[in-house]
Amino acid sequence: MITKTIIGLDVGRSAVKAVALANGLFYRISFPSLVCPATALHDQEAANRAELETVEVAGKRFFVGDTARLQGRIETSVGLSDEWIEGPAYAALVASTLKRLGAMGVPGLDAPLIVLGTPAALFGSQKEALLQRTQQIVATEMMVLPQPMGAFSSFYLDARGMPLPERRLRSDGLPRSWAVIDVGHFTTDFLLMKEGVYVERAAASSAGIHLAAENLVRILAAKKIKASRVAAEAALRTKRVFAYGERDVAAEVAEATDSVVQLIMDTADAVLSEHAGDLDGVLVAGGGAPIVSASLMEKWPHIINLENSRMAIADGYCRVGAGVLLARAMHAEKRLNAEKRVAA
């Protein structure tokens, strides 16, 4: 039996997503990746509401999530650079995740197994740095994977972390092949699993949806509609902004996303076109999946949109962790049985 708590942690540039598994129960949270220095709040009700979203890092207090947006007037998501994990914002987001899970009653947060990741193209260069930086915030066992591997695992593994037979093997017994396009805020990441083997040269990253949000801010400004980056990011999904009332901006969103979708399609061509015909499916995940999936389906008919694509990476990480701990438990049981046989 697995007794250790597992946390699949996807610290995204627009939102943090986490899936925890403890004592057979799953817990899921998501909150905006917004951070600002904490200030004194004199209204008691506001202060009470902010407490859950306030953390201390290196002796400094920070508001995180909606409290940062409301009390700090933060209008830009964090981390639009490769080195952002070194800053206090990343530390505050990780600390806030653990605090929120604790408030939900998740046990075992003193020593969980945390599975987290980096953009595909940065995995080799950032893996160790991410591990060391995150362990400075919470000293516990961790695994680091490429982010699209989380999305793949959410599709490929069951809740125990075991491969689903029908997704592992074809009817003739040969291993299946899959690709992943993970459309995130900072990057769009690509992964290729050819006949069950991770193909490293296909690990690539392209433009993320943040470019579409930047485009939308400029397009709206030209029409005398003021929108923050955070509001523009939300409008990419809702097709609406609030500026002196609610406005329909579907046409502006289509214009803003057009060039970004083209960049993603160009990278998809370069990375996957030679393999596409041999694949059993191309999985599309990430918060930006709805923006590009229609264009991808016109190109490749075997596109599979993952259910709850925004949470797919965190969910897959949690499943990977469950599989690792299950394998350990089975190995320990086998060793114990062998020792009993020798003793007898």
Structure tokens, 76: 């830009």
- CATH number for the region 205-304 comes to 3.30.420
pLDDT in tens, 291-304: 888 888 998 999 99
Asked whether residue 214 carries a pLDDT value surpassing 80, the answer given is yes
In this predicted model, what pLDDT tens digit does every residue of 215-255 receive, in sequence order? 999 999 999 999 988 889 889 989 999 988 999 999 999 99
Place of tokens 């979203």: 53
The number of CA neighbours under 13 Å toward the Cβ of 265 is 16
Per-residue pLDDT tens digits for 130-160: 999 999 999 999 999 999 999 999 999 999 9
For the chain, give the number of residues.
344
CB 178 within 8 A of CB 98: no
Q: Say yes or no to pLDDT of 264 above 70.
A: yes
Rounded mean pLDDT of 90-119? 96
Higher pLDDT, 21 or 230: 21
Q: Which residue has the higher pLDDT, 32 or 83?
A: 32
For the cut 80, the answer to whether the pLDDT of residue 93 exceeds it is yes
- Tell me which of 7 and 329 has the higher pLDDT: 7
Average pLDDT score over residue span 182-208: 92
Q: Which residues contact 289 (CB under 8 A, 6 or more apart)?
A: 183, 305, 306, 309, 310
What is the rounded CA–CA span in Å between residue 186 and residue 208? 5
pLDDT tens digits along 122-136? 888 899 999 999 999
Locate 112 and state its tokens.
């969980």
Chain-centre distance for alpha carbon 275: 25
What is the rounded CA–CA span in Å between residue 75 and residue 228?
A: 6
- Rounded Cα distance between 236 and 290, Å, is 10
Answer yes or no: is pLDDT of 188 > 90: yes
Is residue 195 over pLDDT 70? yes
Do residues 192 and 271 lie in contact, with contact meaning Cβ atoms separated by under 8 Å?
Answer: yes
Q: How confident is the model at residue 3 (pLDDT cuts 50, 70, 90)?
A: confident
- Cβ atoms < 10 Å from Cβ of 141: 14
Distance CA 150, CA 128 (A): 18
- 3-state DSSP assignment of residue 271: helix
76 contact partners, CB below 8 Å, separation of at least 6: 228, 229, 230
pLDDT tens by residue, 308-329: 899 999 999 999 999 999 999 8
Tokens encoding 113: 């197994």
The arrangement of strands across the sheet holding 113-118 comes to 25-32, 15-22, 6-11, 113-118, 141-146
Flag whether pLDDT at 82 surpasses 80: no
pLDDT of residue 29: 97
* Mean pLDDT over the full length of the chain: 92
Separation between Cα atoms, residue 287 and residue 307, nearest integer Å: 11
Identify which of 286, 277, 276 has the alpha carbon closest to the alpha carbon of residue 306.
286
Q: For residue 256, which of 223, 302, 281 has the smallest C-alpha distance? A: 223
Identify the residue with better confidence: 74 or 37. Answer: 37
pLDDT at 17 over 80: yes
User: Would you say residue 278 has pLDDT above 80?
Assistant: yes
In the chain, domain spans: 205-304
- pTM of full prediction above 0.85: yes
E-only strand ranges, the chain: 6-11, 15-22, 25-32, 35-37, 54-57, 60-64, 113-118, 141-146, 178-183, 187-194, 197-198, 204-207, 240-242, 246-248, 281-285, 303-305
**Mean pLDDT on 275-291:** 93
Whole-number pLDDT of residue 13: 86
Q: Are 209 and 287 in contact (CB under 8 A)?
A: yes
Q: pLDDT at position 239, please?
A: 94
* Predicted pLDDT at 8: 98
Burial of 133 (0-12, 13-18, 19+ CB in 10 A): middle
Which amino acid is located at 24 in the chain?
Answer: G
- pLDDT of 1 > 70? The answer is no
Spatial distance between the Cα atoms of 194 and 260, rounded to a whole number of angstroms: 27
10 Å CB burial of residue 216 (0-12, 13-18, 19+) is buried
6 alpha-carbon distance from chain centroid: 16
